[in-house]
Amino acid sequence: MTPNSIEAFGTTAQKTNAWPREIALQPNTDSRRHAYPALRGTLHAIRDFLPVEESAQLSAQLPMLVRGIYFEGWNPSVTPEQERTRDRFLQRVEQALERAQWNEPYPIDAEDVARAVLRTLSDRVSEGEMDQVQHVMPARVRELWETIVMD
């Protein structure tokens, strides 16, 4: 690190880069190029499905740059989203992936990448916080976590 750099920025950049790297290594995910939009879309879907207080609690455990991605474009006055269905959750992830898929020979499955992000999130956020997040999610959305095989 250079003498003029701010150590917190370097540290958070390293922590943040680990997230897409880990997502890309999950089963049924394609590449780091898809990992960022998958992370962004899944985080936004989670954020918009949670009550404001729970959203803030989850964000406190995210690295600084991931927290910035999480809050990007957030309007807390319209959360939680009215239509909190599994299809709507996955639609949010799919919309985030659209630009990454423009020249792909096959579609990227939103459910697969959402599960990869949820696995990474579950690995990096405390078990208690993840239990709280899952508890306030609709049952059909919670099912996305149920098939994640934890180490």
| Angle, helix 139-146 to helix 110-124, in steps of 10 degrees | 80
Res 23: pLDDT: 81
pLDDT (mean) for 68-96? 92
Residue ranges of domains in the chain, CATH in brackets: 7-146 (1.10.490.110)
Assess whether pLDDT exceeds 50 at residue 151.
no
Cβ-in-10-Å burial (0-12, 13-18, 19+) of 137 comes to buried
If we measure between CA atoms, which residue out of 34, 18, 11 comes closest to residue 104?
34
Res 138: pLDDT: 93
If we measure between CA atoms, which residue out of 94, 98, 59 comes closest to residue 79?
59
Residue 81: pLDDT band with limits 50, 70, 90:
confident
Residue 30: pLDDT band with limits 50, 70, 90:
low
Return the percentage of the chain with pLDDT > 70, whole number. Answer: 84
pLDDT (mean) for 62-74? 93
Assess whether pLDDT exceeds 80 at residue 137.
yes
Res 127: pLDDT: 94
More confident site: 58 or 10: 58
